[in-house]
Copies of this chain bind each other. A is one copy, B any other.
């Protein structure tokens, strides 16, 4: 087989990729205003299921961009998601990214309470007393704990990105978040991941940058 490479300059690869995604989406209906988030998830995964499974609470994109511009910080449930978020773009608005999963006090709290470290790290985040966006790409137990904290009046998040991936309690934990009353972006079903969590954060950051409003 002779392999033929397409001649696209490094700086044009992302643009060309988004053109292909737009082309292949055809006349697929997306929620107005959410297109760039949906397309970036497809760009990150090459999986067009995200055109169907992403669910958005009312006006969540505008609310999320306003929160970021107001200095909101992002909490992740994996170092991988933290690593994938454009921290320089976030820092321009005063925000930073936290992941407490490897913290010693979180490990101790989890052990003491018989929970996952993800649960314990949500408790640690809730105690921060900051404007927070949660980007959860791995642990359904993190979403369950966020739901409980909201119900208990201990947390009022700016946004929950609920995109854990997997087979045990993943589907259910996302449904819980959609009933929590918090603004959400959720990938309904089993799919998601730390890469998807990070890319949704980046999509929001790049939407703010392009608008320059």
Contacts and interface: CB of A to CB of B under 8 A. Distances in A.
Contact of A168 (B3, B17, B44): B17
A121 interface: no
Copies of this protein in the complex: 2
A115 interface: yes
A66 interface: no
A165 B202 CA distance: 17
B83 A43 contact: no
Contacts of A71: none
A168 B46 contact: no
Interface in A148-168: 165-168
A159 B191 CA distance: 28
Contact of A17 (B116, B167, B179): B167
Contact of A80 (B13, B43, B176, B195): B195
A43 B172 contact: no
Contacts of A84: 78-80, 194
A169 B14 CA distance: 12
Nearest to A1: B175
A190 B47 CA distance: 9
B167 A46 contact: yes
Given A13-B168, A20-B167, A166-B17, A44 B3 contact: no
Question: Which 3 pairs across A and B sit closest by C-beta, in order of nearness?
Answer: A46-B190, A83-B83, A17-B167
Interface of A: 1, 3-6, 8, 10, 13, 16-17, 20-21, 43-47, 78-80, 82-84, 115-116, 141, 144, 165-170, 172-173, 175-176, 179, 189-195, 198
6 contacts: A4-B172, A5-B173, A10-B115, A10-B141, A46-B166, A80-B80
